[in-house]
Amino acid sequence: MRPLLLVFSDLDGSLLDHHSYDFDAALGQLEALDRAGIPLILATSKTRAEIEPLRRRLGNCHPFIAENGAAVFVPEGYFPVTPEDTLRRFGYCVRTFAAPRDYWLTLLDEVGCRFPGEFIGFQAAGVDGIATMTGLDATAAAGANQRDYSEPVRWLGSEARRQEFVAALVDAGARVQQGGRFMAVSGDCDKGQALRWLRNVFLAQHPARVVHDLAIGDSGNDRDMLEVAETALLIRSPVHPFPALQRKEGVWHSEAMGPGGWAEGVERWLQRYHIEHEE
């Protein structure tokens, strides 16, 4: 029986170009995954509101991981049996791993009074501020601000004070994950935990098949996902080094950046399973 192949991919800086957010360089391998029937599971810091338009552009109908692993969204009817521990919302079976956004906003207010003027969160920045910080247009920035389980923060102070800020948030019960531009404040969740849960759901639905999975990412908030997948593809970034991993085996580093590196790694991975010539 053919193994079950799964691809878990970060977006910004990986499938999407760090500066332009386009994915043209990856189109060939996106089509190869689609022809082979291999689920591409988007795993990102982005919100559901941001991910859904991109899924439509990609023609992607598979589950996705939002807000750095705070929730997994499985389209209703995707599996014959509804996954356990999920709630039906927005046309999905949703597995949550973090408290709602309001909880983290309150915590940031409590901790933030000790760091005045040294950080700004998305809610405080508003749509215009998010657009300025990210380069997104107003519609996309509004989607980025429609958060359910986390709050992105841009640090404005010194590195020493940033470390104090993060320590204070952690002491207050938050988990802080550093991405390419922002740190995400949320609960005890990450992309790795979400990947493991979803992989187990696939295994439960296909108990006779062996799973081989590939995780793709370029920054610190991808580290947990890259650690737990069978194969980790680290994408070269124009703005920061590869994330450091504890594992040594099964780790690939792309030569090209962004979607070019994504395509390079996915092609190599498909060749491992002799998928490249399938129609």
* Beta-strand pair 40-43/4-9: parallel
Hunting for tokens 């970060």 — which residue is that? Answer: 10
14, two tokens: 């990986």
41, two tokens: 């599971």
Please tell me the predicted confidence (pLDDT) of residue 268.
97
pLDDT, tens only, 108-147: 999 999 999 999 999 999 999 999 998 889 998 999 999 9
User: Span 66-83, mean pLDDT?
Assistant: 96
Whole-structure pTM value = 0.90
Written as one letter, the residue type at 50 is E
Q: What percent of the chain has pLDDT over 90?
A: 88
Please tell me the predicted confidence (pLDDT) of residue 135.
87
**pLDDT, the chain, mean:** 94
User: Span 161-173, mean pLDDT?
Assistant: 96
Contact predicate 50/144, CB 8 Å: yes
Q: Where in the chain is the domain with CATH 3.30.980.20?
A: 101-186
Report the CATH architecture of 101-186.
2-Layer Sandwich (3.30)
Cβ atoms within 10 Å of 3's Cβ, excluding its own:
11
The lowest-confidence range among 145-159, 185-199, 263-277 is: 263-277
pLDDT, tens only, 6-38: 999 999 999 999 888 899 999 999 999 999 999
Residue 276: pLDDT band with limits 50, 70, 90: low
The Cα 221–Cα 179 span in angstroms is: 5
Closest among 55, 77, 80, 79 to 65, alpha carbons compared: 55
Give Cα separations from 95 to 64, 87, 193 (angstroms).
Answer: 11, 7, 11
Please tell me the predicted confidence (pLDDT) of residue 107.
97
The lowest-confidence range among 15-19, 211-215, 233-237 is: 15-19
Report the CATH architecture of 4-97+190-273.
3-Layer(aba) Sandwich (3.40)
The Cα 188–Cα 197 span in angstroms is: 14
Q: Where in the chain is the domain with CATH 3.40.50.1000?
A: 4-97+190-273
Please tell me the predicted confidence (pLDDT) of residue 275.
82
**pLDDT surpassing 80 at residue 277:** no
* 203-216 exposure pattern, b = at least 16 Cβ within 10 A, e = fewer: eeeeeeeeebbbbb
3-state helix/strand/coil string of the chain: CCCEEEEEECCECCCECCCCCCCHHHHHHHHHHHHHCCCEEEECCCCHHHHHHHHHHHCCCCCEEEHHHCEEEEECCCCCCCCCCCEEECCEEEEECCCCHHHHHHHHHHHHCCCCCCEEEHHHHHHHHHHHHHCCCHHHHHHHCCCCCCEEEEECCCHHHHHHHHHHHHHCCCEEEECCCCEEEECCCCHHHHHHHHHHHHHHHCCCCCEEEEEEECCHHHHHHHHHCCEEEEEECCCCCCCCCCCCCCEEEEEEEHHHHHHHHHHHHHHHCCCCCCC
Closest among 23, 67, 19, 63 to 42, alpha carbons compared: 63
Q: Count of alpha carbons within 13 Å of 212, Cβ hemisphere only?
A: 10
